[in-house]
Amino acid sequence: MLFSLEWLRSICPVAGAAEEVARALTARGLAVDAILRGLHDAVLDVDVPANRPDCLGHHGLAREIGAALGVALVPAPAAGSPSPAPGDAITVEIEAPDLCARYTARLVRGVRVGPSPSRVVERIESCGLRSINNVVDASSLVLLEFGLPVHFFDAERLAGRAIRVRRAAPGERLRTLDGTERVLDPTILVIADAEHPTALAGILGGAGSEIGPGTREVLVEAAWFHPASVRRTARALGVRTDASHRFERGADIEAPIAAQQLAARLLAELAHGVPAPVVDVYPAPRPRIMLALRLARIGRLLGYSPDPERVLACLAALGLAPRAVDGGTVEVTVPSWRIDLEREEDLVEEVARHLGYDVVPVSLAGLPHPAPRPCEEDPEETVRSLLAALGFHEAFGYAMIGAAEEEGFVPADAPPAARLANPIADPLAYLRRSLLPGLLQAIDTNQRRGTPDVRLFEVGRAFWFESRGKRPNERRLAAFAWSGAARPVHWADPAREVSYPDVAGVVEHVLAGLRPGHAATARARAPAAFHPGRSATWSLPNGAVVARAGALHPARQRRFERPVWVAEIDLDVLRSVPAPTVRFSGVPRLSPVSRDLSLQMPRERAFADVARALGAVPAPASAGFEVVDRYEGPPLAPGDVSITVRVILSPEERTLVEAEIERYRQALVAAIGAIGGVRLRGE
């Protein structure tokens, strides 16, 4: 925001140079980005925080300067008491008090529209606005003075000499000052005359009541509109103005009268207007907010205890009218323009800001370290640790995606995606149901920038409709995308591209880390976005899908330079089943015994079925099974594979004899024969 230093000094007569004023503002959290020097004036470019709308005008910024430098503000000129004249009567009715808490109006008659004096043009243009004519420029001066937007109507073009602040009717139309005809709906607050809308409340005026060369009678509007209403309307209509910028941050509800007085004085000086009395419609006056500040609380939050007299002087300089009460407590009255002061901590921040952050002592706080939460309570952090330990880097994607981005990554019968009412862009119009589209965008960006080996993961929320007409529920998911080398390149180890066993191994590692001894079974099927022959789905015994992994479908793979493998794990589904009891097994004291079984089976048969059947056979010692070899090709029948399963027996009390080992092997062979399609190779 641009502020004229000469203008600020007319309100707060400080004698220092522009640099001194800039330092005072910056020390109070209002950073001055630049000082622009002209022939007759200096202009300060101030970065006003969003929670300080009171500083969006020269008067509010002058209050900050006066408080910082100990200078009192110059009282505003006293306004005369206008006498009513024939035809001055105008009616104002607020039909939507929830969106407009106060509306003031004043007629100014006999104005003469023409160019503004050069001093007015220079002042307005130095603050970044454009001079139009003497009447419109008067409204710009009020805006820049108080930060409260006012609007001028050509009163003779208002039907019925009436103002109605109401919601728009469905399908109503309004041509605004920018020449656009806008279709309205009941969520939009408008300023209407007796017949039709004539302005968007707090945003933009209508062309039908625009000030023109023939204007002789002006209606001055100064009001308070609900910030959320202004923000919602501006975003829905795609229009942003100086007025909406200020109203959507929150205006001073007591400022309209001062704005009316300044507008009347400027129209009299610049356009020879004769003002009538103000019509002030204020259905429910706001009570002043009273807050209590405990001096001991200041010490606990700031780390030091300033002198109570300095605290009282600081609060008084800020216009808070402090009153000391018993028990080390100070009671203050919050001014109407300080809408950011809502609780005791806000007052502590004001004390620190006024006294200076540089006086806060620097010390190391002895804060206790929070106890780590168990994995059962924080599965998301557990997944992050597991994937980071495997060399993956965490990514953060948008929760909003395009309409077709997640097609094929969610089941075809899944509920529809939630569409945003006011998306910031068309490619971000839907809430995501999968984390994979965002990770694929990151993979694509890395590959295009010359990084072929990429391992990324994300742990976040997806949004699903359980039933139509309700809000979407959040579901916790973990996903990763892997492209390029399976492991870091090393001179002693040949490079290898990532493959399905690598990806499936990561999925199994995560599932085991969250649910040791989980009963999820992998099957060779996956959604349409995955490669049909190089992907799998992990399901729980109750049929719930807990994970999907595999290569991208060839149609999706075309956009990438290197093959991409992806996986997604549903953390909520995994935690919906009780974790199995994990039993401790001591380290065997005797040497293990192993036997290999060569099996032939169909390619689509999952090894989990074989392992389950083998594990059900009573063993003479603790038994484990692992695949040590896999072969596919001649002389095997098409569609068959051969795997070598190593059976490992780990005795604890005594050495096993060959006879009982052979009996166990024969029992395993019998169990294998009971599995459909699986047999010993060569039989």
pLDDT of 317 higher than 80 = yes
pLDDT band at 368 (very low <50, low <70, confident <90, very high): low
Instruction: Quote the number of domains for the chain.
Output: 5
Which of 243, 262, 281 is the last residue in one of the domains?
281
pLDDT of 366 higher than 60 = no
> pLDDT (tens digit, 9 = 90+) per residue, 128-139?
999 999 999 999
Domain assignment present for 623: yes
Range of the domain at 121: 91-281
> pLDDT (tens digit, 9 = 90+) per residue, 369-379?
555 554 455 78
Q: Which runs of E-coded beta strand occur in 484-577?
A: 521-523, 530-539, 545-552, 564-570
> pLDDT (tens digit, 9 = 90+) per residue, 458-481?
999 998 776 655 677 888 999 999
462 in the same domain as 334: no
Across residues 380-399, what is the average pLDDT?
Answer: 92
429 in the same domain as 571: yes
The CATH number of whichever domain residue 648 belongs to comes to 3.30.70.380
Cβ atoms of 27 and 356 closer than 8 Å: yes
495 in the same domain as 403: yes
Q: Any idea which of 425-429, 456-460, 521-525, 665-669 has the lowest mean pLDDT?
A: 521-525
Across residues 650-666, what is the average pLDDT?
Answer: 90
264 in the same domain as 312: no
Residue 64 CA to residue 61 CA, distance in Å, equals 5
Which of 327, 357, 387 is the last residue in one of the domains?
357
pLDDT of res. 452? 87
Residue 140 CA to residue 242 CA, distance in Å, equals 10
Domain assignment present for 13: yes
274 in the same domain as 295: no
> pLDDT (tens digit, 9 = 90+) per residue, 90-145?
899 999 999 999 999 999 999 999 999 999 999 999 999 999 999 999 999 999 99
Cβ atoms of 146 and 166 closer than 8 Å: no
The CATH number of whichever domain residue 329 belongs to comes to 3.30.56.10
> pLDDT (tens digit, 9 = 90+) per residue, 150-207?
999 999 999 999 999 999 999 999 999 999 999 999 999 999 999 999 999 999 999 9
323 in the same domain as 305: yes
Cβ atoms of 74 and 13 closer than 8 Å: yes
- For the CA atoms of 58, 61, 62, 67, the dihedral, rounded to the nearest 10 degrees, stands at 170
Q: Tell me the two tokens of residue 33.
A: 């980005």
pLDDT of 86 higher than 60 = no
Residues 6 or more apart whose Cβ sits within 8 Å of residue 282: 101, 102
Strands 189-192 and 162-167: antiparallel
pLDDT of res. 460? 93
pLDDT of res. 328? 87
609 in the same domain as 511: no
Residue 576 CA to residue 208 CA, distance in Å, equals 62
> pLDDT (tens digit, 9 = 90+) per residue, 52-73?
999 999 999 999 999 999 899 9
115 in the same domain as 186: yes
The CATH number of whichever domain residue 427 belongs to comes to 3.30.930.10
pLDDT of 412 higher than 60 = yes
Across residues 623-651, what is the average pLDDT?
Answer: 90
pLDDT of res. 230? 96
Which of 299, 323, 357 is the last residue in one of the domains?
357
Residue 21 CA to residue 33 CA, distance in Å, equals 12
266 in the same domain as 120: yes
Cβ atoms of 399 and 431 closer than 8 Å: yes
Q: Tell me the two tokens of residue 314.
A: 């600081």
Q: Any idea which of 17-21, 105-109, 235-239, 246-250 has the lowest mean pLDDT?
A: 17-21
